[in-house]
Structures are given as structure tokens and as C-alpha cells.
Amino acid sequence: MTPAIELSDVRKSFGATPIIRGVSLAIEAGTRQALIGPNGAGKSTLFNLITGKYPVTSGRIRVKGADVTDLAPYEINRRGLARSFQVTNIFTRMSVFENIRCAVLWSAGYRYSFWHRVSAARAVNERAETVLEQLNLAARRDVPAGVLSYAEQRALEIGITIAGGADVILLDEPTAGMSRSETERVIALIRQVSAGKTLLMIEHDMSVIFDLADRIAVLVYGEIIAHDTPERIRGNAAVQEAYLGVPAEVV
Amino acid sequence: MSTPVATRPFAVAGVARAARVRRYGLWLAAAVVLLLLPQSVRTGTAIAVMNQMGIAVIFALSFNMLLGQGGMLSFGHAVYFGLGGFIAAHVLNMAGRGAIYLPVPLLPLVGGLGGLAFAVLFGSFSTRRAGTVFSMISLGVAELMAASSLIFDKFFGGEEGITTNRSKAPLLLGLEFTRDRQVYYLIAFWLFVATLAMYAFSRTPVGRMANAVRDNPERAEFVGYSQHRVRFVSFCAAGFFAGIAGGLFAVNYEILTAENMGLNASGAVLLMAYIGGIGAFVGPIVGAVVFTFLQSMLSDYTGMWLLYLGILFLATVLFVPMGLAGLLMLHAPVWRARRVGRLLGPYVLTGALGFVAAVGIIGLLEMVHFVAAGRTGTRRLFWLVVAPRTLMPWLGFAALVVAGAVGVRWTGPRAVAAFAEASRPGRP
């Protein structure tokens, strides 16, 4: 089966500094996987390469078998890959509902249309309402997104990512800065919206990872040092040494 | 908030119907007002001013498609207004010679297509980047056109510009446009159509994405939209409507000069949009009407009218960045909560004191103008006859400024506090 995402010897340098140093990784379609690694390992950079935000220095990236290495972010998104951001990245002056609706428009085939009324685009509006309900943000529908609380903005961030119906979803630290109960709600949401899809998620919370991920990829100093099931990652000496530190933390 | 979930869909449907009635009612009312407006005035000057306003409103709304809706600050939007106008003027002359058949009512469309063509040309590269780069390119294009107007003097008519004659064009349905009043209805028609079209544009997929790209171009790319392409479409639409305004200008004034597409004209439309408020669709309408009104009224009274408009712009940017329309909309919650009465006292007091200060400032400025112009003797200022070359009026107006300013410093914060109190949600 064709992997959802496939990286072949991907390298990225900023100036003379290599950040990603030859990553080859295949993410099987329909799995939930986590990308972990210490701060500065290059996790977000890797996301930025996959989604087209940064150009690679060398190597190839394929999404669902098609080469996307030199494509712009919007072209990659149109192939069914969507991402969220570590730092909340929403349309602050537009309403919560409009934020979601904007994320639905392209996938619903409206492109750059100036001959349709959005209010008459029934499927789009229904989809946006459904996503709002899923996010538990229906009560905040008409509020400008900029005035939402932090946790609500993080939920909206995920909502914008999944609203277009992408089947490859990349989430960059979706639970960062959240309380335990908020984290649990978000994880339930992620589990729900990623069902039957491919999920790759950067995460620091080990309990979340071991709970959700089918496989874990460990990135250290720009290299993948392990890519395996949670149990085997837990027992991997190199991972423990490089990243997890004392084994007690794993539990 | 406390509405039970089960009844919500019905409530929403009711609200939607009410909103629809309100919206269509508003457009209908606007059309009726536009039709009846000329009946309410007697003088030709008033008609001339209304014609000027109509053109300015279309132009300012088209400008706000860039700034307010799309986040593009253009310093050269008059380029598309002016080019549309020049093309319309040339086409009108051709129609007058009988070289082509084109009646006057369709001429604004010609201007629009001219504006659109140049917006496609210049927009293709200037919308690649947003922010400062876009602004600088718009300035560059404006300079380029200023230089071109000297080089291509056959097209731009050099210093005299291009004159035309709307009464020579063929008639459509026997409609004549010899008098200002007849031109008024043509402008009113296009004003209504263009405003409706620009409003509708803001409600289309690409119109919504223009807002999204304005707020966050990066995220827009990650939901499938090229920020360049979204800005380009908005830019073309803005050029088209600016060209319609330019075409109406050609019909109304029967002359176009390079000044019409110069930096002053581009600056004026920026002032209009900003004074009215770029955050609301009606903002530029309010701004264009106020600006044109002040421009035509003040220029009758003082040679310094441009200075006063500049001061108004500065005051808007400093104290009311949301503009006049934005300021009014800020009060919508207070209005709905029926608490406007509480604001009346503080507002009237602050307004009166502000008026006193304004009278003082205007008096001083006018006297400076009088003395600087080398004039002697007396002049009328407001209800007074003053002799600017004596000490007393200076002291008097200075005293007004000080009294007004001190007063506003004291009452201003209280008015703001009263607003904050009145707009707080909850029971009165």
C-alpha cells in the first residue's frame, strides 16, 4: 500500500546549519503516528518541509504517492494534506464560524468564485456547522476568533485543519499549554476526527502519545533514530538515552 | 444564551428572516432615497455636489475592497479611476464622432473595463506581496503613470487634459444628459448597481477569502488558497469599480486631466475611506459623503479647507481609528440595551467643549492665514468681525482653545467611562 507520507533522504539547512540531516520516513496510510524528540530536534521544521512552507535543501517528499517536493502549501493542501500550527494561526478578525467555513471552501469546489453567494453554499455551511458542533464551539459561533480563550483557539486551530476533509492530518503540539481536562477533551476530539485517516502528530505529553499512537517516530538532531510501536520505543535504549532520559518518566 | 437547545432552530430561522427583510428593506430604502433626493434640493450647486458624492462613494468603496477587505494599502488607486476615466472620455469622443455606437448610460462600463484591464496588468505583479511591498509598488505605479502622462500626451492631453461632450453621443431610449439633474440619475443608477455588486462580492467565496488573507495569509495557503491569487482577484475587482467611478467622472465633468489619477487623488480616497471607517462596508460611503460635503462647503469659506480635512484625518487616525461608521457601530450594543440616554449628558458636554476648542483653533488658523497672506484690516470669522493685526482676537481665540482643551481633558475620560459602563452586558 502506498504510504500517506514518504520522505526520502530529506535534508534542510538554514545557511550553513543543517537542521534536518537526511530523514527517510514512511507513514502508512490510515495510521495514527506521533513524532517526538527533544526541543530543537527539527520536528516543526520537518512539518514545514512536508507541508511546503519551506523548500527542502535536498531529498524528495511524496504525499499519497505523488511527488510534492516543489509544490506550494496550497497545492499540497489541495491533495488532501492539512496541518495545524504550534502557535495558534487563525483568522483573528473573522467569526469562529467563518474561520471554519474558509477552511471548507476550496475542498467544496468553490475555488476563487465571485459568482456564488457563500450564504447559499449549503453543503459548505452545513459542514462548517457540523465541525463547530464537534469542536464544542457552537455557542461561540459569531464571536471574532481573536477573542476566544486559549483553549478555544487551540480547538479552532484543529477545526480549521480538519474542516476541509483532508485525509492526511498533521498536528503540531495540539495540547501544548492545556490543563489535564482540556487535554483529555482535545485528545478525544483528535481521536474522533482522525478515525479512518492518517494522523501525524508532534506531541510532548507521553501519556497522550502512548494512548493514541500506533507508531512513534523519534527525531533527534535532525535524524530519525527510531520508528516503531509504542511498546518497542519504550524499550529502546537509544531513545531512552537520547530523549526520554530516565525510564521512570516513560511511565 | 439561555434559549433551550430544542427551540433554537426556530429562533434562528426567525432571526434569519428578520435579517433578510431588514437587508432588502435597507437596499430598497436606499434606492428610494436616491430617487427622491434631487426633489429635496433647489439649487444646481446641490445637485453638482451630490453628483460628486456619488462618484466619490463608488471610488471609496472600491478602494476599501483593497484596504478594508483585502488588507492592501494602495497609494495609487486613482490610477485605475483616472485610466478608466480617460478611456471613457476617448470612447465618448469616438461615439460623438459616430465612429462607434455607444450611448452615455453604458459609458461607465467602458471605464470599468478600462480600469479592470490595467488592474490585471499592474495587479499581476503588485499583488505578489502584501504589506509594505504592495504599498511601495502601488506608489511606484502611480509615479509611472504620472511620468507616462507627460510622455503619451496624445492620450492624456498634456496640461489641458482630454475634454469630451456627452451631448454628442447617440441616445439610448431617448435619455438625454444635457443637465446635471439628468446626469444625477445616471450616477445614482450606477452608484446603486456598483454598491450592490461590491457588497455582493464581499459575500462570495473569494470575497470571504480576501478577509482571510488579510487576517492571516499563511493560514489561507494551508486551507488551499494562494494568497497571491486571492489578492489579485480583489485587486482586479477594485480596479473595475474604480474605473466605473472614473467613467462617471468623464460623463459628469466632461474633462479629465492627469491630476485625476495623481497622488493627490489617491490620497483623497484613502482619507475618505479612513474617515468613514475601513472596518465596515458602509464606512467608505459615510467617509466619501462627509469628505465631499466638507470639501465643497469649506472651500466656499476658506482657502485652507485642505488643511482642515488633513486635521480631520489626523484626528480620526489618533482618536477614532475605527472611523465614523465604526464609532456608530460601536454604540449598537448600547442602543439595543436602550441606554443611549445615559450617554447623552457626557457626550453633549464633551462635544460642546470640543466645539469651543475647535472654534478657537479655527480662529487662530484663519488669522494666521490672514496675516501670512499680507492682508490688513478686518475680516468676518464666525459671528464676529475681527482685526487679526491686533492682540485681542488672538488672546480671545487662545482662551477658547485652552478652555475647550482643559474641559475635554476633564470630561473626555468621563464620557469614555460612561460608554464602557453603558456597553457592559447585563441588566441595567
The rounded mean pLDDT for chain A is 93
Domain assignment of residue B102, yes or no: yes
State whether residue B208 sits within 8 Å of chain A by CB: yes
pLDDT at B400: 95
CB atoms within 10 A of CB A11: 16
Task: Report pLDDT digits (tens) over A240-249.
Answer: 887 655 544 4
Domain assignment of residue B28, yes or no: yes
State whether residue A54 sits within 8 Å of chain B by CB: no
Give SS3 for B139.
Answer: helix
Task: Report pLDDT digits (tens) over A44-99.
Answer: 999 999 999 999 999 999 999 999 999 999 999 999 999 999 999 999 999 999 99
Contacts of B262 (CB under 8 A, 6+ apart): B78, B82, B142, B146
Q: Do B212 and A114 touch (CB under 8 A)?
A: no
List, as one string, the DSSP characters of B347-382. HHHHHHHHHHHHHHHHHHHHHHHHHHTT--S-EEET
Whether the per-residue pLDDT at B21 is higher than 80: the answer is no
Give SS3 for B421.
Answer: helix
State whether residue A116 sits within 8 Å of chain B by CB: yes
Q: Do B403 and B325 belong together in one domain?
A: no
State whether residue A122 sits within 8 Å of chain B by CB: no
**How many domains does chain A contain in total?**
1
Nearest to A94 among B211, B221, B225 (CB): B211
Mean pLDDT over B144-155 rounds to 92
Task: Report pLDDT digits (tens) over A132-142.
Answer: 999 999 999 99
CA distance B218 to chain A (A): 8
Task: Report pLDDT digits (tens) over B267-295.
Answer: 999 999 999 999 999 999 999 999 999 99
Whether the per-residue pLDDT at B367 is higher than 60: the answer is yes
**A90 contact residues in B (CB cutoff 8 A):** 215-216, 219
**How many domains does chain B contain in total?**
3
Domain assignment of residue B199, yes or no: yes
The counts of H helices and E strands in chain A are 9, 10
Out of B330, B346, B361, a domain closes at B330
Q: Do B386 and B276 belong together in one domain?
A: no
Exposed/middle/buried for residue B73 (C-beta within 10 Å: 0-12, 13-18, 19+): middle
Banded pLDDT at B1 (limits 50, 70, 90): very low
CATH number where B216 lies: 1.10.3470
Strand partners, A66: A63
State whether residue B391 sits within 8 Å of chain A by CB: no
Nearest to B205 among A53, A90, A118 (CB): A118
Q: Do B49 and B31 belong together in one domain?
A: no
Banded pLDDT at A228 (limits 50, 70, 90): very high
Q: Do B204 and A93 touch (CB under 8 A)?
A: no
Determine the residue of chain A that is closest to B230 in CA distance: A112
| Residue type at A196 in one-letter notation | G
Q: Where are the beta strands (DSSP E) in B213-267?
A: 255-256
Q: Do B71 and B120 belong together in one domain?
A: yes
State whether residue A94 sits within 8 Å of chain B by CB: yes
Domain assignment of residue B409, yes or no: yes
Residue pairs between chains A and B whose CB atoms are closer than 8 Å: 102
Domain assignment of residue B165, yes or no: yes
Nearest to B223 among A94, A114, A160 (CB): A160
Mean pLDDT over B221-239 rounds to 98
Give Cα separations from B137 to A50, B232, B243, B246 (angstroms). 32, 14, 20, 22
pLDDT at A248: 43
Whether the per-residue pLDDT at B14 is higher than 80: the answer is no
Q: Report the C-alpha gap between A165 and A154 in whole angstroms.
A: 18
Mean pLDDT over A21-49 rounds to 95
Strands B162-163 and B255-256: antiparallel
Nearest to A114 among B1, B223, B233 (CB): B233
Q: Do B90 and B214 belong together in one domain?
A: yes
Q: Do B269 and B286 belong together in one domain?
A: yes
pLDDT at B426: 66
pLDDT at A206: 87
Nearest to A89 among B1, B201, B219 (CB): B219
B298 or A23, higher pLDDT: A23
Q: Do A89 and B216 touch (CB under 8 A)?
A: yes
Q: Do B108 and B233 belong together in one domain?
A: yes
Q: Do B104 and B253 belong together in one domain?
A: yes
CA distance A138 to chain B (A): 11
Q: Do A74 and B211 touch (CB under 8 A)?
A: no
What percentage of chain B reaches a pLDDT higher than 70?
A: 96
Residue A20 structural domain: 5-250
Sign of the four-CA dihedral A238, A242, A246, A249: negative
Residue B24 structural domain: 9-40
Mean pLDDT over B85-103 rounds to 93
State whether residue B226 sits within 8 Å of chain A by CB: yes
Q: Do B14 and B95 belong together in one domain?
A: no
**A160 contact residues in B (CB cutoff 8 A):** 219, 223
Out of B303, B330, B357, a domain closes at B330
Q: Do B221 and A160 touch (CB under 8 A)?
A: no
pLDDT at B428: 47
State whether residue B240 sits within 8 Å of chain A by CB: no
B186 or B305, higher pLDDT: B186
Q: Which residue, B403, B342, B397, is CA-closest to B368?
A: B397
Determine the residue of chain B that is closest to A51 in CA distance: B222
Exposed/middle/buried for residue B385 (C-beta within 10 Å: 0-12, 13-18, 19+): exposed
Domain assignment of residue B428, yes or no: no
Whether the per-residue pLDDT at B34 is higher than 50: the answer is yes
The grid coordinates of residue B270 equal 484613502
pLDDT at A243: 65
Domain assignment of residue B323, yes or no: yes
**A92 contact residues in B (CB cutoff 8 A):** 215-216
Task: Report pLDDT digits (tens) over B313-364.
Answer: 999 999 899 999 999 998 988 888 888 888 999 999 999 999 999 999 999 9
CATH number where A121 lies: 3.40.50.300
pTM assigned to the model: 0.92
Q: Report the C-alpha gap between B347 and B344 in whole angstroms.
A: 5
Domain assignment of residue B154, yes or no: yes
Whether the per-residue pLDDT at B13 is higher than 90: the answer is no
Task: Judge if ipTM > 0.90.
Answer: yes
Q: Do B93 and B172 belong together in one domain?
A: yes
Q: A190-211: string of b/e by CB count within 10 Å (b at 16+)?
A: beebbeebbbbbbbebbebbbe
Q: Do B34 and B125 belong together in one domain?
A: no
Q: Do B61 and B171 belong together in one domain?
A: yes
Banded pLDDT at A250 (limits 50, 70, 90): very low
Exposed/middle/buried for residue B305 (C-beta within 10 Å: 0-12, 13-18, 19+): middle
